Chain A
Amino acid sequence: MIELVLSGRLWRMCVKELRETLRDRRTIFTLVLMPLLVYPVLSLALQRLILNSVSSNKSETIIVGVSSERNVDVLGAAINRSRQLTASDSYRPFRYSETVASADNPLKSKTRTSSQPIEWNAIVVEKPLKDSLEAGEVDVTVSITNRIDEESNTNQDDNRSNNFLFSVGYRENDSRSEFALSEMRKMLQTLNENEASELRIANGLSRGAPFEILATAIEGENSIASSLSSVIPLVLVLMTITGAVYPAIDLTAGERERGTMEALIATPISRFALLLSKYVAVLTVAVLTAIANLTAMFVTLRFSGLSEVLLGGHGFSLWSVIAVLPLLIVFAAFFSAILLALCSVAKSFKEAQAYLIPVIILSMGPGILSLLPSVRLTGTMAAIPLINMILMARECLAGDLEVIPGIIAVSTTLCYAIIAMSIASQLFGMHAVPQNSEVSWRSWLRAPNQTNRLTTLEHLTIYLAFFFPIYFVAIHLLAGFNEIDLQQRVWLNATATVLLFGALPLLFALWRKLSIPKTFPVGGISRWWLAIPGLLLISVSMWTVAHEILVFSELFGIASLDIEKLANLEKAKTEFLALPLTTVWISMAIIIAMAEEWFFRGFVLQGMLNRSKDARAAWISLLVSAILFGLFHTVAPNLLAIERFLPTTALGMIIGWIAWKTGSLIPGMIVHAIHNGLLFTMPRYEDLLRQWGLGIENQKHLPLTWIAGGLACLAIGILMVQVMTKQVEIKNVENIDF
């Protein structure tokens, strides 16, 4: 594979696929013509829709809710005065720059036609103004206060010094209510300008505006505009799919239909490389489609003025376009792989279409679900394919994207892409030869013929791709149990860990017929019992190193704990201290250590170590497994505990090294369990620890003597394990030779 990349062959293969696709008129059609046609038409339709909804309820009167009769009088006087002024002011009927600037905007031009005086109808509302506004009984609410009244009439001599504050309440995203607000603003501005000019003439003085407006928004619901704005991501995603569909079919099923598949499969190149070049081509077309659509949408919305209406004040900025594009690329990476997996099994264009149509229709379901405003990108939602990307795009456009669910959404989506690609590479070319009818998607699930196989990199990748989303969802489900008793929760957690890290990898290994003794080596105490003293030394000293690394990494701002979370921790701590120590040791130290060792040092590390006896490869394997160990420990519900990464990775290196040297998982389990147990026991002896000068809670450095002692213990322990296992290793080699 590397050779293919280096020699440029893979690149030339991709170029061929792209040539083939891009020269095809049908690709160009979806790529260029569709966006050019769809968005203008769509935007015209939307404008019509919004215009209708706006004009149908705007022409008549605006209903203003006020709290008292006196307010009615003031408002009435203000309206009358402003009408007189507007009528006499014939040479500048519309002074409002926003109206003039968007003269070609039909939505805005609606407000311009208001040269016919608007009918205002003020009603006195009995209940609180806000309630009435929320209920939709009135378009806006106004309560007027005369500040002069409140300042106990100190400026009696100047009877023109009235200063009114109009507190206007309106519904956000409600065109009628927003229109009423803007009319109110205009009216008061007219009054202010008149007042100011008169004053200037009178005594050259300038004061603050006599009429002030204070607008308060309440959230409007079910407004057409807001629901339309969430359609945008869905449209973009669907258009990206559309772009990828044709090339995906053409480059797989089409290859068969043209009769080129057999010749292709007969070449010595690996099917995965073939598929990869096709994947690159499909992905490229999908991304080009996404860019074309995004551009077309951006341009259309910008020039039709729909942007502000659909997306609120800030509109569809260039920034949001740039932010959405990477999301569409991630999505395209995912969906291209899905499409290829589906099309790879098809024998013809027709068959491929038959497979794809249900999938596309099915994917509309979650797409529409994600339109609901209450559905947010949190927790489990972030791991659901398609929904997570649409939600992420929506939040991105709205400008309130949260980082952690975003990272989860992107990484799970990429996991799904890997799974789909692995399925596709198994299926691709299987139908190159007709009559071979037993091949289907099931063949991917079928167990291999050979037994006692060694883990391959492919196994690991596929497993992790499956496992990460499962793990993530499981963590969130567990977090949902926060109201049950801590003791039960601890056991629940232990069970889940055993299932996730113990049972799942074992099942996978059984299914793929991997060698169990080699993947999960648990025996061979004869090989490492001499190293037990060294192991014990390591287990009791490891925490000092981990703690120092933790404090060290926090120096660089790597931390996710904030005050609020610390407060929660305090509460959790008191609960935790109430747990029996045996429960803590069994459920949180021993069981968890065993399960995690089983997975990280067994399935992951041994799987890689078994591939090669080379020491350099072994060190790389150690590092990779340790990093994975560290990464998994950073995933917590709705937060990434990144400060855990470095210490856990370091521990993963040490324990991984032990597993490598001893060739068994048991020593690592012992070390891991003792380490965990110590960490959980320490808080119980806080006073004692404090006497020793250890403020574990305060995220402070340990005293130097402790660091030195810890390091020394660790070093001696490692040395002992090294020496003791070396002797045994030689013995073992002799045994094997026998």
Chain B
Amino acid sequence: MIVASELSKAFRTTNGQMNQAVDAISFTVSAGEVYGLLGPNGAGKTTTLRMVMGLLSPDSGFATVDGARTDSQSTNSNQSEAVLSKLGMISTNDGVYPWLSVREMLSYFADLYGVPQALAKTRLSELAQLLDIEKVLNQRCSTLSTGQKQRVTFARGLMHDPPVMLLDEPTRGLDVVGSRTVFQFIDLLRQRGKAILLSTHRLDEAERVCDRFGLLHQGKIRYEGTLQGLQIATGREHLVDMFIDLIDQRGAA
């Protein structure tokens, strides 16, 4: 479903130097698979996700979803519309509209994706049940707790039922129970056959939920494969240890 091919992106820092945030990253994610993009802060996870999403245009390389490129430069508007409809993105930075009710906000996004109103209605109640936000549907978003907000954000990303989900740190700021709910939900999405690209720092949960991993450091994928493959490649049993090795490498460099 998702193919990232040699994605690169550099940013100009405030003192005018170029910082290679992502350096020729390639990976694929197929339907019904959860791919974990792991790495320390500043490794380039969010930038990668944004390039796959088409929000950032890569300096070189490209990403495709279902065979169609996501960068808007190479596609005409109709094509990019079709691609965008297949993608759902949930980010830790996502906010809610404080003055709208949950229902209004979700309906609004369904509308933006062109979901027919009747379908949007059934999907909304379905998602509300699934994510346990039925009780707050008519509340203003400003009154929600952090966990509720996160679940509303999940519902927002799923209103158009995209086959591909990009999840950027979906558990940051959530407590153990909250995180657990999120990962259970990711599991459910996988069962429904969605291709999921996940970036997270909850390594323990990631170990359980992800099918394959890419260990990102300083803009490059250092290791890639299943947990088993990684264990063989790094000689470490747990992701946490692999992680620390990576950071130590950085310290050594």
Contacts and interface: CB of A to CB of B under 8 A. Distances in A.
27 contacts: A9-B114, A12-B107, A16-B100, A16-B108, A19-B99, A19-B100, A20-B97, A20-B99, A23-B100, A258-B96, A259-B93, A260-B96, A263-B91, A263-B94, A263-B109, A263-B156, A264-B112, A265-B55, A266-B54, A266-B87, A267-B109, A267-B113, A268-B112, A269-B114, A435-B21, A436-B56, A437-B11
How big is chain B's contact interface, by range? Answer: 35 or more
A259 B98 CA distance: 11
B205 interface: no
Contact of A262 (B55, B80, B98, B104): B55
Given A13-B111, A16-B104, A258-B96, 16 more contacts: A16-B108, A20-B99, A21-B99, A23-B100, A259-B93, A259-B94, A260-B97, A263-B91, A266-B89, A267-B112, A268-B85, A268-B114, A269-B114, A433-B55, A433-B56, A437-B11
A438 B13 CA distance: 11
Nearest to B12: A437
Contacts of A19: 99-100, 104
Contacts of A432: 55
Contact of A20 (B53, B80, B84, B100): B100
A265 B157 CA distance: 13
Contact of A268 (B11, B84, B98): B84
A266 B53 contact: yes
Interface residues of A, number: 28
B95 interface: yes
Main secondary structure of the interface of A (DSSP, over half): loop
Contacts of B107: 12
B50 interface: yes
Contact of A435 (B11, B82, B97, B100): B11
A267 B54 CA distance: 11
B89 A263 contact: yes
A148 B174 CA distance: 104
Given A16-B108, A266-B55, A438 B93 contact: no
B81 interface: yes
A23 B99 contact: yes
A258 B95 CA distance: 5
Interface string B31-62: 00000000000000001001001111000000
The 5 closest A-B pairs by CB, nearest first: A259-B95, A258-B95, A268-B84, A267-B112, A268-B81
Contacts of A268: 80-82, 84-85, 112-114
A262 B56 CA distance: 11
Contacts of B50: 433
Contacts of B85: 268
A269 B115 CA distance: 12
A269 B55 contact: no
Given A262-B55, A265-B55, A268-B114, A438 B97 contact: no
Nearest to A433: B55
A198 interface: no
A24 interface: yes
A31 to B, nearest CB: 15
B112 A269 contact: yes
Interface in A23-54: 23-24
Contacts of B99: 19-21, 23-24
B77 interface: yes
Interface in B90-129: 91, 93-100, 104, 107-109, 111-114
A480 to B, nearest CB: 46
A511 to B, nearest CB: 20
Contacts of A13: 108, 111-112
Interface of B: 11-12, 21, 47, 50, 53-56, 73, 77, 80-82, 84-85, 87, 89, 91, 93-100, 104, 107-109, 111-114, 140, 156-157
Interface string A244-283: 0000000000000011101111111110000000000000
Contacts of B157: 263
A235 B195 CA distance: 58
A21 B94 CA distance: 20
Contacts of A12: 107-108, 111
Contacts of B98: 258
Contacts of B87: 266
A437 B17 CA distance: 13
Contacts of B93: 259, 262
Contacts of B81: 268
Nearest to A438: B12
A13 B96 CA distance: 16
A21 B97 CA distance: 11
Contacts of A24: 99
A707 to B, nearest CB: 51
Most chain A beta-carbon contacts within 10 A, residue among B47, B114, B156: B114
A260 B112 contact: no
A16 to B, nearest CB: 5
Interface in A311-342: none
Contacts of A23: 99-100, 140
Contacts of A269: 112-114
A536 B63 CA distance: 59
Most chain B beta-carbon contacts within 10 A, residue among A13, A268, A270, A432: A268
Contacts of B112: 13, 264, 267-269
Contacts of A267: 84, 109, 112-113
Contacts of B21: 435
Most chain B beta-carbon contacts within 10 A, residue among A9, A16, A260, A438: A260
B100 A270 contact: no
Contacts of B80: 268
Nearest to B51: A433
B95 A260 contact: yes
Contacts of A449: 73
Contacts of B140: 23
Nearest to A23: B99
A259 B56 CA distance: 16
A12 B169 CA distance: 31
B209 to A, nearest CB: 23
Contacts of B114: 9, 268-269
A108 to B, nearest CB: 48
B248 to A, nearest CB: 27
Nearest to A264: B112
A27 B97 CA distance: 15
Nearest to A269: B112
Nearest to B95: A259
Contacts of B54: 266
B100 to A, nearest CB: 6
Nearest to A435: B11
A105 B99 CA distance: 45
Interface in A217-264: 258-260, 262-264
Interface in A376-398: none
Interface string A412-454: 0000000000000000000011011110000000000100000
Most chain A beta-carbon contacts within 10 A, residue among B89, B95, B107, B156: B95
B55 A258 contact: no
Interface string A454-481: 0000000000000000000000000000
A262 B12 contact: no
Nearest to A274: B112
Contacts of A262: 55, 89, 91, 93-94
